[in-house]
Structure 1
Amino acid sequence: MTVRWSLADARRHLDCVRPWLLAFSTYTLLTIALTWPMLPRAASAVVRDTGDTLQQTYSLAWIWRAFTTDPFHLYDATIFYPQRFSLAFSESLLVPSLLAAPVQALTGNPILAYNVATLLAFPLTALAACALARALTGSWPAGLLAGLIYGFYPYRFDQLTQVQNVSSYWPPLTLWALLRFNTAPTWRWALVFWGTLVAGALTSLYSAAFTAVAAGLFQLWELLASRRLGGAAYLRLTIAGLGGLVVLAPFAYPYVVLSRSAAFHWSIEPMIGFSADLKDWLSAPPENWLYGRVTAPVRAGSLFTQHNLFPGLGALVLAGVGLVAGRPRALVWRFGLLAAVSAVMVHGPVLIAFGELTGIPLPYLLLHRLPVFSSIRVPSRFVVIAMLSLAVLAAFGLSAVLRWRAERVQRRTPLEQGLVPGRTVTSTWIALAAGAVIAAEYVSAPVRTIPVPVGTAVPAVYQWLARQPDQFAIVELPMWPTKGDAELGTTWYIYYATYHWKGLVNGRTTFYPPGYEQLVESAARFPADPAIVALRGTGARYLILHGDLYPPPERERLMALTPLREVARFGSDIVYDLDLTGRRQP
């Protein structure tokens, strides 16, 4: 078979690709501007704090290392030694790791790899929403506007420290595939739907769970209102779903195993603190140029960044127009219903109104009974689906405005057409003005960055560990508590592990292995014999004491009283031998 490729074919394909390249380029430039100075500092700094960022930097680097050295032990990360499947104590971030992998492979810089994955998430997320909205409205300006809203709304900048929360590119594609399946129930669209849902689960458990709720709501609408699909269509969807579960099973297995020994669920009480308050819809991040100061009184008392949900006035106005005048009406009402339901789900199990717990139960209580949702601590992240719905409604709104403008131009007399600018120019300016207003509402730059040592700037003790030829485990003191700000100290140990890859008894994740908190309590009594016995019980070969993290009197006491043999010293970092034969000679 001969394949002929003409210049006309090349031009035709280029014409199809060019708008997508322009859209991606536009969103990329917006990302650079709105996250400034994140890009120029990407190789040696993280955004805002060193908690989740350093923990997830480790996860992305470990996944690359596991894929290239021992992929069958992907979840057996080095943290929480000797715990099996330790990567599964938090989200595995497999898809973001693919974005980070080329950078990690070329540079060996885990901070740069993490920041690149985070920055790329913005244009990819916006482009996915653009694809959905353009398919629904048939309008490029409307699609671009939806991408702007969904990809860059203020809440997203509060999540810069968590790559999985800004990597929201799968929900629009999943819903788009489902809508296509409902109009053309082929194997292709059934597989695309489940493929994107599985990919979403390998990116963020939260996002996939909330997207599944949205998809279920859409199919309930389809079943009750349209009734276009027959038994054969649902059979295809079911078989494709079983295939998706087969693909997902190896990645879900470690979580299933750990759930038998660890408490992989949250009770109602802690979830309430991470649920949205009614006033949160009026709260913008403090860094936001337009609304940060204005909403400060509303924001007062909110301890977590999950509470700044204000979507911007421009998006709300256009979404209102879309709800009233958008076409086709069936799709508008479908996304309107999804926006309403997801806005309620954001508030979690019990309604909180302006700081007061009302005691009014909400539908999220039903979701909490399901296995996956009982592992979700932050219901307010349901705002991702609410904002996707709002972005699509705003796209319908802009499409309606442009349609009105086109109809008005068509009704002009020949004399009016000669005196007034034409439809294309006017429509372009309307779309640009709408985009400019919304982009101005979303500016939160400059973002705060924190320098992080990389390469040869990493503390000497970790460079020494990297030079040790065999594989063994270490434990680092102080062992920080698992709750409160103190746990952030552990993330530095985790990050530096990317330079030596020895087993690390310490760890910090969403959930903790059984017995870890008791080990932390025992380690706090070091150098008492029970503490040393507990630390030796982990199987670690060396104990690293970070003297600069203790008050001077306590540091001197620890060094004087410890019975362990000193192996190496690097400033205030001292390496002790935990081996039973490694007692210091009197």
Structure 2
Amino acid sequence: MSTDTAADETAVPEEEPAPPSPEPEKSDVDPWERFAATAHEDEDDGELPRRGRVGLIAAHASRVVRHEWTLAAVASLLLAVVMSWPLWTDPVHRVPHDTGDPLVSAYLIGWTGHATLTDPLGVFSLNSFFGSRLSLFFGDSLLGFAPAGLIGSGPQAAILRYNILYTLCVALTVFGGYALLRQLGSRVPGAAFGAVAIAFAPWRLAQAGHIQVIAVGGILLSLAMLARGHGWSLRHGYRPRRTRWGWIAAGWAVATWQITIGFGMGVAFGYLLAGIVVVAAIGWLFKRPRVPGEVLITDAAGAAVFAVVAIVLSIPYFQVAAAYPYAADNADAAERFSPPWLGLITAPGESWLWGRLHTPARDSMYLPGETTLLIGFALLGLALAGFLYSSWTRRQRWFLALGLAVAVVLTMGANFLDDGAWGYMALHEYLPGWAAMKVPGRLILYVTVIAAILAAGTITRLGDRLHEMAVERRVDPREPVRRPPLARVALLIPVALVLLEGVSVAAYPTVPAPPAALSEVDGPMLVLPAGKAEDARLMLWSTDGFPELVNGAATFVPEEQDRMLAAAVSFPNGGAVNYLRAMGVKTVVVRKDRIAGTSWQHVLDFPPTDANVVIEDKGDVVVFKL
């Protein structure tokens, strides 16, 4: 994709050429121009003939290594690894946060890769939830991660694959936030602060077990690319000469990939893009700026692809809602998961800095893991300062404040005025697809992003002022501008503060190894005891061959599974055996070490009344062949 030439590096009006200077004023240089320029753009043409091929390759490699986007990408990845370091001490056995949803997600990614190779037409129906169709869509499908599932097999590969993707998702959030803020016009310290504040906000610590919530870097990166492609920034507004259709195409491609991860975070993003399109169209009607034809064509094609993919992926969800009506009503869930006002300034228990101090506040909340939504006090303070002192214009700050207010209202869900009737619940009732989001608090992402933009404006204004002071203090205007090193370091202190607030004390538990005999059992099988935690482990273990399982854990569980589990309470009597046979179950596996204290604790106390049932004791499990 093309980028601007070095001749456009400074934002100087064409009718007033800049006075001779040994270097452009850094406050006037387009930040994204330095960030996204290709490595050859600053090549001295006079040097090309005098260099050999090896020299040119070495020079190009050196520029790539030293380029801002390379440094930003490496820094993002290093931060993601360091901030979750315990995970990487044993990445094939540990998972972040808990052994519930991460195991299900690791399984889903493995399943989509396995089914793509072995049974592409059956990818939507999992090997778990035996007898249920379209079970991939009982929650967020994570289809966007399917290519990773093509690599490796078995539980350990699934865990390692998940941990790599998890870390890359955190890194992409840092990188995407940095790219977005640079495109909007922030200096490096402001962009670094905002990116880290978004990626390591305290509220995200409680979401570490939900990769579909952590994986929002595509939202930020696509917005950066789209803004870049349209030649738009907060600093300079719309500049037709800087439009680039390649960046627009890339932005829509990343946005489309983001929607394939899941609708839990994707629905709001889709409506955000639609809102941006509407606002841009209204702005064009008033100002009638020149828009290149290739921009309109690329936008139309990109938006069409995005819409088609979103619609195609939504069809199975509507089919699931029709087949299981009790799964479609998320209004009650949205009310339960709506955070109180106190939740906006309360940190989750996973926060090293604030967790213990905020325990009394969390004790008064329902499901604090979803309702403690602190964006960080450092971010909050600088965002408030950004409304008063900023490199953004007053009008832009008012619009950002309005967007922030709307985001807060929607995040509150049913706990805003009139039980959310003027906000989230109204959208839940009337906006297509909005009901897919049953956790309003996850919209805190947009509160965090807008606050980061405001905060970056403050830090950027401070950086501009330091630059102006350095320019004024030069004795000879031909001398390069040198800002005091301590001043540069001071601008990075806020980054250290948000990193401190982002330190987590969450566990990185070790995943239990599967019973050795389990891989020898043929499906369809029912494994006892059952339950969300037990079934999450079983789903992961089933990546060793993917035998058919009655067990399964998801956002909701079909009533058929509940009925089979209820019947199994009286197993192995004849009635239970006959019912399970009729449902297609061929094997029941009982785990001796897990059965005590459950509803199925007596299944091993009595012999089966059906003589056709074959029992095999395999040490840690007992296998009943029906």
**Aligning the two structures, in what range does the TM-score lie when normalised by the shorter sequence?**
0.7 to 0.9
CA–CA separation in structure 1 for the residues paired with 2:335 and 2:118: 42
Give the equivalent residue in structure 1 for 2:221. 173
Give the equivalent residue in structure 2 for 1:460. 516
Give the equivalent residue in structure 2 for 1:541. 586
Matching of residue 450 in structure 1 with residue 509 in structure 2: yes
**Aligned partner of 1:117: which letter?**
L
Give the equivalent residue in structure 2 for 1:269. 332
Match runs of 1:284-433 below 5 Å: 284-302=347-365, 303-329=367-393, 331-351=396-416, 359=419, 361-369=421-429, 370-412=431-473, 414=475, 422-423=482-483, 425-433=485-493
Secondary structure of the corresponding residue to residue 549 of structure 1: coil
1:115 to 141, 146, 163: 163
**Relative to structure 1, is the Cα distance of residues 292 and 572 closer, same or farther in structure 2, using a 3 angstrom cutoff?**
same
CA–CA separation in structure 1 for the residues paired with 2:606 and 2:422: 53
How far 1:193 moved relative to its partner? 4.0
**Relative to structure 1, is the Cα distance of residues 393 and 564 closer, same or farther in structure 2, using a 3 angstrom cutoff?**
farther
**Relative to structure 1, is the Cα distance of residues 106 and 61 closer, same or farther in structure 2, using a 3 angstrom cutoff?**
closer
How far 1:189 moved relative to its partner? 5.1
Give the equivalent residue in structure 2 for 1:203. 261
How far 1:40 moved relative to its partner? 0.6
Secondary structure of the corresponding residue to residue 328 of structure 2: coil
How far 1:21 moved relative to its partner? 2.6
Match runs of 1:495-506 below 5 Å: 495-506=540-551
| TM-superposition CA deviations, 1:178-226 (whole Å, max 9, x none) | 4345545775455334322221111131222121233334344434456
**Relative to structure 1, is the Cα distance of residues 299 and 462 closer, same or farther in structure 2, using a 3 angstrom cutoff?**
same
Larger deviation, residues 185-194 vs 67-76: 185-194
| TM-superposition CA deviations, 1:27-84 (whole Å, max 9, x none) | 3332233223111122112233222122112111112212232333222220111222
**Aligned partner of 2:338: which letter?**
S
Residues 385, 455 of structure 2: 8 Å contact kept? yes
CA–CA separation in structure 2 for the residues paired with 1:87 and 1:106: 19
Matching of residue 65 in structure 1 with residue 65 in structure 2: no
Give the equivalent residue in structure 2 for 1:215. 273
Give the equivalent residue in structure 1 for 2:304. 242
CA–CA separation in structure 2 for the residues paired with 1:497 and 1:253: 27
**Aligned partner of 1:452: which letter?**
V
Secondary structure of the corresponding residue to residue 500 of structure 1: coil
**Relative to structure 1, is the Cα distance of residues 235 and 364 closer, same or farther in structure 2, using a 3 angstrom cutoff?**
farther
Larger deviation, residues 558-567 vs 160-169: 558-567
CA–CA separation in structure 1 for the residues paired with 2:612 and 2:593: 19
Residues 477, 546 of structure 1: 8 Å contact kept? yes
CA–CA separation in structure 1 for the residues paired with 2:466 and 2:422: 42
CA–CA separation in structure 2 for the residues paired with 1:261 and 1:242: 29
Give the equivalent residue in structure 1 for 2:569. 524
CA–CA separation in structure 1 for the residues paired with 2:519 and 2:155: 17
CA–CA separation in structure 2 for the residues paired with 1:66 and 1:53: 20
Structure 2: stretches of 5+ with no match in the other structure:
1-51, 232-239
How far 1:128 moved relative to its partner? 0.7
Residues 99, 116 of structure 1: 8 Å contact kept? no
CA–CA separation in structure 2 for the residues paired with 1:430 and 1:96: 40
Residues 266, 375 of structure 1: 8 Å contact kept? no
Secondary structure of the corresponding residue to residue 176 of structure 2: helix
Give the equivalent residue in structure 2 for 1:441. 501
**Relative to structure 1, is the Cα distance of residues 559 and 496 closer, same or farther in structure 2, using a 3 angstrom cutoff?**
farther
**Relative to structure 1, is the Cα distance of residues 511 and 287 closer, same or farther in structure 2, using a 3 angstrom cutoff?**
closer
TM-score by length of 1: 0.85
2:197 to 140, 144, 149: 149
CA–CA separation in structure 1 for the residues paired with 2:368 and 2:607: 39
CA–CA separation in structure 2 for the residues paired with 1:473 and 1:44: 27
Matching of residue 80 in structure 1 with residue 129 in structure 2: yes
Match runs of 1:91-110 below 5 Å: 91-99=140-148, 102=151, 104=152, 109-110=157-158
**Relative to structure 1, is the Cα distance of residues 14 and 216 closer, same or farther in structure 2, using a 3 angstrom cutoff?**
farther
**Relative to structure 1, is the Cα distance of residues 5 and 373 closer, same or farther in structure 2, using a 3 angstrom cutoff?**
farther
**Relative to structure 1, is the Cα distance of residues 91 and 187 closer, same or farther in structure 2, using a 3 angstrom cutoff?**
same
**Aligned partner of 1:461: which letter?**
A
Give the RMSD, CA atoms, in angstroms. 3.1
CA–CA separation in structure 1 for the residues paired with 2:205 and 2:581: 43
Secondary structure of the corresponding residue to residue 489 of structure 1: helix
TM-score by length of 2: 0.80
**Relative to structure 1, is the Cα distance of residues 365 and 181 closer, same or farther in structure 2, using a 3 angstrom cutoff?**
farther
Secondary structure of the corresponding residue to residue 353 of structure 2: coil
How far 1:235 moved relative to its partner? 7.1
Residues 226, 248 of structure 2: 8 Å contact kept? yes
Give the equivalent residue in structure 1 for 2:320. 258
| TM-superposition CA deviations, 1:324-365 (whole Å, max 9, x none) | 33334265444433322212111113428xxxxx74634112
CA–CA separation in structure 2 for the residues paired with 1:437 and 1:537: 61
Residues 207, 214 of structure 2: 8 Å contact kept? yes
Residues 92, 159 of structure 2: 8 Å contact kept? yes
What percentage of aligned pairs have identical amino acids? 23
Residues 214, 385 of structure 1: 8 Å contact kept? no
Residues 267, 436 of structure 2: 8 Å contact kept? no
How far 1:316 moved relative to its partner? 1.7
Number of positions where the alignment pairs a residue of Structure 1 with one of Structure 2: 551
Secondary structure of the corresponding residue to residue 84 of structure 1: coil
**Aligned partner of 1:565: which letter?**
V
Residues 186, 457 of structure 2: 8 Å contact kept? no
CA–CA separation in structure 1 for the residues paired with 2:551 and 2:244: 50
| TM-superposition CA deviations, 1:89-130 (whole Å, max 9, x none) | 11111233445654x369952112212211221111110111
Secondary structure of the corresponding residue to residue 323 of structure 2: coil
Give the equivalent residue in structure 2 for 1:473. 524
Structure 1: stretches of 5+ with no match in the other structure:
353-357, 481-486, 579-586
Give the equivalent residue in structure 2 for 1:159. 207
Residues 353, 501 of structure 2: 8 Å contact kept? yes
CA–CA separation in structure 2 for the residues paired with 1:266 and 1:424: 59
Residues 285, 292 of structure 1: 8 Å contact kept? yes
How far 1:444 moved relative to its partner? 1.8
Matching of residue 491 in structure 1 with residue 536 in structure 2: yes
**Relative to structure 1, is the Cα distance of residues 448 and 189 closer, same or farther in structure 2, using a 3 angstrom cutoff?**
same
Give the equivalent residue in structure 2 for 1:515. 560
CA–CA separation in structure 2 for the residues paired with 1:251 and 1:79: 21
**Aligned partner of 1:21: which letter?**
T
Residues 181, 453 of structure 2: 8 Å contact kept? yes
**Relative to structure 1, is the Cα distance of residues 491 and 108 closer, same or farther in structure 2, using a 3 angstrom cutoff?**
closer
How far 1:10 moved relative to its partner? 5.9
CA–CA separation in structure 1 for the residues paired with 2:154 and 2:557: 33
Larger deviation, residues 492-501 vs 374-383: 492-501
**Relative to structure 1, is the Cα distance of residues 559 and 23 closer, same or farther in structure 2, using a 3 angstrom cutoff?**
farther
How far 1:281 moved relative to its partner? 1.3
**Aligned partner of 1:265: which letter?**
A
